[in-house]
Homo-oligomer: A and B are copies of this chain.
Amino acid sequence: MKIPRSKEDDYSQEIIAQRHGWLETFTGQHFPYLQGRPYEPGSVLGTCENYVGTVGVPVGLAGPLAIHGSRAQGEFVVPMATTEGALVASFSRGMSIITESGGCHVLSPGNVLPGETGQPYRVLGDALTKVSAVVLRDAAEAGRFDGWLREHLPQIVAAANATSRFAKLLEVSPLFHGDLVGLAFTYSTDQAMGLNMATKANEAACRYILAHSGGLAIDYFNTLGGDKRFVPDQAKGRYVSASVRIPAQLLQQRLRTTAHRMRRFLGACNILLAQRGATAPNIHIANALTAMFIACGQDPAFVTVSFKNASTTFEPQSNGDLLASVTLPNLLLGTVGGGVKLPGQQECLRMLGCEGDVIKLAEIIAAVALAGEVSVAGAVTAGEFTHAHTVLGRGLHGETAERKA
């Protein structure tokens, strides 16, 4: 079940063919576009104007990776598109440790709407918020506009929902300031990442407001430019959380480190960089997202938003095992639209069995991110662990003595 590698030349046609053979056995599928079949120009339609060809981003296989999710269940071979040497090898190592540990658990809580259940439990784990702005005739009428809005909400919702079979308006919240009223519209977007459908739906809602507010609203800006900035809304894409318990022995044998030491390393990162204003306690989740987004036809410009509040912990258990966890509250993904339909990218989605299953894709990406965090923390701490043994003498006290033991 191991991905074939060659120690002499891992880039020969032969070993590449061997990997494809293995992959076909594993997945029961063929991947001709990854192997070099050129994209028909027509297949690019809708993704790029003034088209002159493609740049190839190398794809390596990582895994297998065992996942227990709500949609992603079983072992996966993961295609990662990257130009950063060592990245695929490192993630693959992390995946095999997770798999040997029995796999990781992934949670994707979805949506719960107070307006539907009548209970105050509110979860927006599968939704997209897009903010538009309405310009008022007079700042002094903001309160009156707020009142108008409350009364005409059913019509506004109807206008937004009429624009698409897929986008469904879940929530509207206002942001007041002077003669501006921001309206944060939150949608469920089915299989799409959903920004385009949200744009259309917001447009319809804004037009309704402009046409029917009796002159209170005199203008609007449909796109507030916050789509590719980070705004700490809770609802930006899919919310997924993954964790794995790695036995102490595996840490020792495979990573030559300890749970304690991995925790110390991540703690040092967080506390020292916090002095300089760092947020989002993770090591390199941006790498996982970027490689997966490019391989699977997602928009890599959304890594900026998707990685922002991503967080990682390494929690030692009393028997020396490690509980490693990552949470990605804002994964902006889709399995329709954008680059998804490009033939090579389709193959990558298909390799993961994610055609038409965006939650499954989100769960796999969370597991991949977890693998990357474990692997890099292992590498950093193993390195120094060795040095500590080599360089340091006797007579250390406290924690260090423990590490030496």
Contact = CB atoms under 8 A, between A and B. Distances in A.
Contacts of A381: 221
A119 B118 CA distance: 11
B342 A55 contact: yes
Nearest to A117: B115
Contacts of A220: 384, 387
A344 B392 contact: no
Contacts of A391: 207, 210-211
A229 B278 contact: yes
Chain A interface mostly? mixed
B178 A131 contact: no
Given A120-B172, A222-B380, A178 B243 contact: yes
B384 A222 contact: yes
Interface string A48-75: 1111111111111110000010100000
A253 interface: no
Contacts of A395: 215
A165 B105 CA distance: 41
Contacts of A295: 55
Interface in A107-123: 107, 109, 112-115, 117-123
Contacts of A176: 107, 109, 239, 241, 327
A57 B55 contact: yes
Given A12-B41, A49-B60, A277-B231, A345 B283 contact: no
Contacts of A182: 268, 272-273, 275
B11 A45 contact: yes
Contact of A221 (B109, B215, B384): B384
A49 B3 CA distance: 11
B380 A221 contact: yes
A353 interface: no
Interface string A177-195: 1111010100000000000
5 contacts: A36-B54, A68-B140, A83-B345, A120-B171, A219-B403
